[in-house]
Amino acid sequence: MAVKWTSLQIAVLVISISAFTLAIDLDVDSPDSIRTAAATIAYGLQSMYNGNRTGGEPGKFPDPPYYWWLSGAAWGGMLDYYLYTGDESYYNVTYDALVSQISPTNNYLPAAEALDEGNDDIALWAFAAQNAAEYGFREPPKAYPTWLKICDNIFNDFVSRWIASSNTCGGGLKWQVFPTSPGYDYKNSISNGGFLQLAARLYRSTNNQTYYEWAIHVWDWSVKIGLIDSSYNVFDGSDDTINCTGIDHTLWTYNVAVYLYGTAVLYNYTNGLEIWRNRTTALLDFALEAFVSPFPNATDVIYEHCELTWSCNIDQFSFRAYLARWLAKTTIMMPETAEKVNPVLRASALAAAAACSGGANGTTCGARWYLDAWDETSGLGQALAALEVVQSLLVDEAGPPAEAST
Ligand SMILES: *[C@@H]1O[C@H](CO)[C@@H](O)[C@H](O)[C@H]1NC(C)=O
Ligand SMILES: *[C@@H]1O[C@H](CO)[C@@H](O)[C@H](O)[C@H]1NC(C)=O
Ligand SMILES: *[C@@H]1O[C@H](CO)[C@@H](O)[C@H](O)[C@H]1NC(C)=O
Ligand SMILES: *[C@@H]1O[C@H](CO)[C@@H](O)[C@H](O)[C@H]1NC(C)=O
Ligand SMILES: *[C@@H]1O[C@H](CO)[C@@H](O)[C@H](O)[C@H]1NC(C)=O
Ligand SMILES: *[C@@H]1O[C@H](CO)[C@@H](O)[C@H](O)[C@H]1NC(C)=O
Ligand SMILES: *[C@@H]1O[C@H](CO)[C@@H](O)[C@H](O)[C@H]1NC(C)=O
Ligand SMILES: *[C@@H]1O[C@H](CO)[C@@H](O)[C@H](O)[C@H]1NC(C)=O
């Protein structure tokens, strides 16, 4: 539902933006200003972490409590913070956190999380580990395999879980890992899109065709079931109990985002294959149509639908982090998308900076970027989403991820 603009509305908006004093100062044309804004948000985010202090749990952000996956997502964002800004302040705390959750089977399956561990949760930790592999982050200590090998282990877990449940829905990855978890029957976009993106990135890192074949397989299944429809709308999930004959049509930013970056990587590594260009372009168009410009006074600003009804939970506050993250990375894999993506990231970063104006120091991040003011909410998801959209303006600084020669 993109809002169409008249030039009068744009003129009014330009005047109102320039008259507004930002709480976190941000000049989107100045790399130094972007770095300073990102540093302020990163500092606020890290002050929620106590896992490197007595009484804290390594790797995990504590109260309210946050789910395990959100910590993995946050460390992935912190790794990008280092790559994009060059600020090494959190390199070691990020490294220690990523190592702390690898688990004895070297696949991010810690026993402590067995009650509610989802394939999507693991995927978010895997993306951080894969990022570490792609950019030569320090390898884990000797007792563990490399970041790349850990990601390959997770890929093979996904393959065997897919096969184990292929008596329903013609395949697909379940949401949950363990039969005891609520949602075990659900087969959803974030898990399957996570599988596709991980496969795509492993393919790029190794040139091993097995990963490519699975990426194609996951795409084809997602379309067949209707998680992705013929107009490239990406919906939330379907269910084993109905053999995936019906779809939960709820729209979330991170579902399209996770597929989008996967197809962009495949486009790039296949040297621009038309089928991946078409898919990437269509997913991008859907994302920009569905999750940008909620109101005439917030053109190009990313939003989550639940913000409008004040019904987002603490997980959902973070989802725009991954849309911003993967929109930005898509412009690296498919440079021609920058023209569409950059105005959205710039407007959203400005709006997010304005929303980071709460608390005693006036830099606590709220959720609703379209308000140009703090919405009196705060938390890890809000801080992460703001951090990622602001730092995404520096995505070019990291350069493309390493790739195997073809
Ligand atoms: C702002 O205040 C919050 C809450 O007191 C604190 O956690 C955070 O670290 C502060 N941020 C900065 C940049 O000082
Ligand atoms: C924990 O990490 C933070 C950076 O996020 C650092 O400022 C702090 O000094 C560390 N604390 C300890 C006890 O190492
Ligand atoms: C980070 O850890 C490395 C290896 O242990 C150490 O050499 C380095 O001094 C640490 N850096 C900081 C800023 O603590
Ligand atoms: C379940 O769905 C799959 C995939 O659409 C299909 O191939 C299979 O025939 C269906 N099974 C039943 C029992 O309808
Ligand atoms: C490619 O990756 C798959 C999945 O891990 C593995 O089974 C296979 O041995 C790999 N092939 C080569 C040539 O390394
Ligand atoms: C793949 O990515 C690289 C690095 O950004 C870029 O130079 C190249 O043009 C991309 N390939 C295609 C086919 O767009
Ligand atoms: C890509 O899209 C164009 C334009 O819609 C279409 O003509 C072409 O057949 C598509 N290519 C593939 C491989 O699907
Ligand atoms: C934009 O419009 C929405 C909906 O009317 C409103 O809630 C919001 O406060 C407005 N934002 C600004 C910056 O005025």
What are the pLDDT digits (tens) for 123-177? 999 999 999 999 999 999 999 999 999 999 999 999 999 999 999 999 999 999 9
pLDDT over 70 (residue 313): yes
Q: 216 C-alpha to center of ligand 7: Å?
A: 17
Selected residue with higher pLDDT from 14 and 298:
298
Q: Which ligand is nearest to the CA of 74?
A: 2
Q: 255 C-alpha to center of ligand 2: Å?
A: 33
304 pLDDT band (50/70/90 cuts)?
A: very high
Ligand 6 pocket: which of 333, 337, 396 to mutate (most atoms within 8 A of CB): 333
Ligand 2 pocket: which of 91, 93, 94, 380 to mutate (most atoms within 8 A of CB): 93
Q: Which ligand is nearest to the CA of 99?
A: 3
**Cβ(175)–Cβ(158) below 8 Å:** no
pLDDT over 50 (residue 13): no
Give the model's pLDDT for residue 63: 83
Give the model's pLDDT for residue 9: 44
pLDDT over 90 (residue 10): no
Query: What tens digit of pLDDT does each residue of 38-89 get?
Result: 999 999 999 999 999 999 999 999 988 899 999 999 999 999 999 999 999 9
For the segment 183-189, the average pLDDT, to the nearest whole number, is 97
Q: How far is CA 223 from CA 278, 290, 291, in A?
A: 14, 19, 21
Residue indicated by tokens 């209707």: 226
5 pLDDT band (50/70/90 cuts)?
A: very low
**Cβ(83)–Cβ(393) below 8 Å:** no
406 pLDDT band (50/70/90 cuts)?
A: low
| Among candidate residues 392, 319, 379, the one with its CA nearest the CA of residue 85 | 392
pLDDT over 90 (residue 115): no
Number of other CB atoms surrounding residue 8 within 10 Å: 8
Ligand 7, atom 1: closest residue by C-alpha: 278
Ligand 6, atom 5: closest residue by C-alpha: 332
Q: 199 C-alpha to center of ligand 4: Å?
A: 25
Q: 266 C-alpha to center of ligand 6: Å?
A: 11
Give the model's pLDDT for residue 286: 98
The CATH number given to 7-398 is 1.50.10.20
**Cβ(365)–Cβ(383) below 8 Å:** yes
Ligand 5, atom 14: closest residue by C-alpha: 208
92 CB-near residues (< 8 Å, 6+ apart): none
pLDDT over 50 (residue 6): no
Q: 230 C-alpha to center of ligand 7: Å?
A: 13
Residue by residue, what is the 3-state secondary structure of 317-371? Answer: HHHHHHHHHHHHHHHHHCHHHHHHHHHHHHHHHHHHHHHCCECCCCCECCCCHHH
pLDDT over 90 (residue 258): yes
Q: What is the mean pLDDT of the chain?
A: 94
Ligand 8 pocket: which of 16, 22, 295 to mutate (most atoms within 8 A of CB): 295
Q: Which atom of ligand 1 is nearest to the CA of 364?
A: 1
Q: Which atom of ligand 8 is nearest to the CA of 297?
A: 1
**Cβ(35)–Cβ(91) below 8 Å:** no
pLDDT over 80 (residue 8): no
Q: Which amino acid appears at position 281 of this protein? A: T
Ligand 8, atom 7: closest residue by C-alpha: 371
Give the model's pLDDT for residue 116: 84
| Among candidate residues 371, 394, 373, the one with its CA nearest the CA of residue 301 | 371
Helix ranges (DSSP H) in 6-118? 7-18, 31-46, 68-85, 91-100
Residues having CB within 6 Å of any atom of ligand 5: 152, 156, 208, 210
Q: 393 C-alpha to center of ligand 5: Å?
A: 36
pLDDT over 60 (residue 3): no
pLDDT over 90 (residue 405): no
Strand partners, 393: none
Give the model's pLDDT for residue 230: 97
Give the integer Cα–Cα distance in Å for 316 and 67.
11
User: What is the model's pTM?
Assistant: 0.94
- In percent, how much of the chain has pLDDT > 70? 94
Number of other CB atoms surrounding residue 336 within 10 Å: 12
pLDDT over 80 (residue 210): yes
pLDDT over 90 (residue 263): yes
Ligand 1, atom 1: closest residue by C-alpha: 361
For the segment 304-317, the average pLDDT, to the nearest whole number, is 97
Give the model's pLDDT for residue 21: 40
Selected residue with higher pLDDT from 290 and 11:
290
Query: What tens digit of pLDDT does each residue of 314-345 get?
Result: 999 999 999 999 999 999 999 999 999 999 99
Ligand 6, atom 2: closest residue by C-alpha: 333
